Amino acid sequence: MSHVTIYATDWCPYCKNLRKRLDRTEHAYDVIDVEQDADAAAWVESVNGGNRVVPTVKYSDGTYATNPEASAVRRKIAELEEA
Taking the domains of the chain in order of start, what are their residue ranges?
A: 4-75
Q: What is the average per-residue pLDDT within 61-69?
A: 97
Distance CA 24, CA 10 (A): 19
Per-residue pLDDT at 23: 95
pTM of the model: 0.94
Per-residue pLDDT at 27: 86
In the predicted structure, residue 34 carries a pLDDT above the cut 90? yes
Where would I find the beta strands (DSSP E) of the chain? Answer: 4-8, 30-33, 56-59, 64-66
Per-residue pLDDT at 26: 85
Roughly what angle, to the nearest 10 degrees, separates helices 70-82 and 13-24?
A: 50
Pick the CATH number of 4-75 from 3.40.30.10, 1.10.10.10, 3.40.50.2300, 3.30.70.270: 3.40.30.10
Buried b (16+ CB within 10 A) or exposed e, 8-42: bbeebeebeebbeebeeeebebeebbbeeeeebbe
Per-residue pLDDT at 83: 79
Per-residue pLDDT at 1: 67
